[in-house]
């Protein structure tokens, strides 16, 4: 009998493995999500949205852009912009939440545009952990499970509840937490291959990640029938992804998608020239009226080497050598028109006052020489 493939929510042990754009703070605004879909991603995650902010957002139909915008209480900041045509049944909204009631109110705001809501349990940043979110939930499985239960009670059955976590010190602890989250209502759990507090590209633990998944599959029927297991972290090549496919139900790709979104989601596709990728990204930034600072940030991330493992920096070096401009030229840009001119695409009219995403951006973040002087 021919297998019936269900991409979302993913089914355990089916032959078609899921390819997802993983959540990345600042990077996963609309243009990058649409670009990833163009290049073969099955599912795209939003960046982490803070529940206590999202629950106060107003849903607005943007007739000019043909998008659905979620605008915060100030009326000046767009927290999420969704293309309801391109992202239908493709968008997972990731939440940063510390308790269930707030998480549920926030999830209800975006329930009609999302096929899934994901609880972030991996963010190591102080703003997240200090508020009881992100990695703080790894140490409090009961509270995490209560949030998942609340989300499951609130959301319609068509919206999956999932979680993204990191490794705990012991394999048994990680397995117990994943079981607890599934019992609370999670239909998929993504596991990043690093321990809490360890930032990429340092110390990936792919063998440990594999042992966690294999143990869950062997010992608990739920992970063979009901709950999908997804891998995240350091999957830069088709060979690495293929190796992980043997024991997971799919992968979430973050930094590899910034380095090479054109082929990483599709094994059969050859890598496109970096300039072609940048041009299409800037076209989408104009199409969705992205904030210039956010667009510039993502372009700089696509060109920066600081978070990639040493064995992949040669790939980036070759990509940079193929460009008709230097990285510093991106730093000098101020508008979407400047970026369009730099990469060689036609500038199109955009808003005189583009919607802010409420974040602070600094060119110093990408200044390798300054970071070294400051010990960063």
Task: Give the number of other Cβ atoms within 10 Å of residue 353's Cβ.
Answer: 8
Residue pair 300/330 in contact (Cβ under 8 Å)? The answer is: yes
Query: Can you tell me whether residue 119 is helix, strand or coil?
Result: strand
DSSP-derived secondary structure for 168-225 = -SSHHHHHHHHHHHHHHT-SEEEEEEEETTPPTTS---HHHHHHHHHHHHHH-THHHH
* Cβ atoms < 10 Å from Cβ of 365: 15
CB 227 within 8 A of CB 182: yes
d(CA 62, CA 163): 30
How many angstroms from the chain centroid is the CA of residue 316? Answer: 21
Closest CA to 329 of 360, 303, 307: 303
Selecting among 79, 102, 115, 123, the annotated active-site residue is 123
342 token code pair: 């730099």
Spatial separation of the C-alpha atoms in residues 39 and 335, rounded to whole Å? 26
The answer to whether 123 is a known catalytic residue is yes
According to DSSP, the β-strands at 67-71 and 18-21 are unpaired
- Both tokens assigned to 30: 């609309």
For CA atoms 286, 351, 338, 291, give the dihedral sign.
negative
Q: What is the dihedral of CA 106, 111, 112, 115, to 10 degrees?
A: 140
Q: How far apart are CA 372 and CA 370, in angstroms?
A: 5
Q: Which residues are catalytic?
A: 123
């Amino acid at each position: 009998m021919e297998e019936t493939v269900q991409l979302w929510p993913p089914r355990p042990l089916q032959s078609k493995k899921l390819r997802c754009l993983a959540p990345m703070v600042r990077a996963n605004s609309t243009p990058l999500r649409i670009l990833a879909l163009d290049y073969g991603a099955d599912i795209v995650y939003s960046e982490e949205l803070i529940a206590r902010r999202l629950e106060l957002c107003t849903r607005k139909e943007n007739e000019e852009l043909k998008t659905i915008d979620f605008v915060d209480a100030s009326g000046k900041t767009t927290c999420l912009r969704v293309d309801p045509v391109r992202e239908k049944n493709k968008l997972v909204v990731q939440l940063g939440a510390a308790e269930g009631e707030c998480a549920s109110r926030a999830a209800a705001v975006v329930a009609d545009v999302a096929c899934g809501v994901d609880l972030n349990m991996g963010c190591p940043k102080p703003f997240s952990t200090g508020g009881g979110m992100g990695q703080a939930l790894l140490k409090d499985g009961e509270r995490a499970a209560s949030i998942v239960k609340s989300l499951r009670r609130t959301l319609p059955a068509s919206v999956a509840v999932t979680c993204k976590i990191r490794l705990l010190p012991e394999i048994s602890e990680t397995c117990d937490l994943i079981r607890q989250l599934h019992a609370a209502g999670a239909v998929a759990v993504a596991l990043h291959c690093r321990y809490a507090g360890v930032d990429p590209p340092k110390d990936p633990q792919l063998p440990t990640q594999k042992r966690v998944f294999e143990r869950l599959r062997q010992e608990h029927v739920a992970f063979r029938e009901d709950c999908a297991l997804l891998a995240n972290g350091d999957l830069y090549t088709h060979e690495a992804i293929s190796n992980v496919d043997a024991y997971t139900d799919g992968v979430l790709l973050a930094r590899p998608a910034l380095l090479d979104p054109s082929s990483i989601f599709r094994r059969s596709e050859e890598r496109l020239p970096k300039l072609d990728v940048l041009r299409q990204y800037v076209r989408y930034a104009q199409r969705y009226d992205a904030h210039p600072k956010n667009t510039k940030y993502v372009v700089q991330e696509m060109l920066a080497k600081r978070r990639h493992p040493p064995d992949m920096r040669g790939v980036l070096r070759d990509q940079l050598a193929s460009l008709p401009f230097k990285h510093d030229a991106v730093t000098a840009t101020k508008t979407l028109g400047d970026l369009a001119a730099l990469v060689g695409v036609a500038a199109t009219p955009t808003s005189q006052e583009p919607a802010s995403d409420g974040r602070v951006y600094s060119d110093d973040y990408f200044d390798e020489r300054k970071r070294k002087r400051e010990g960063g």
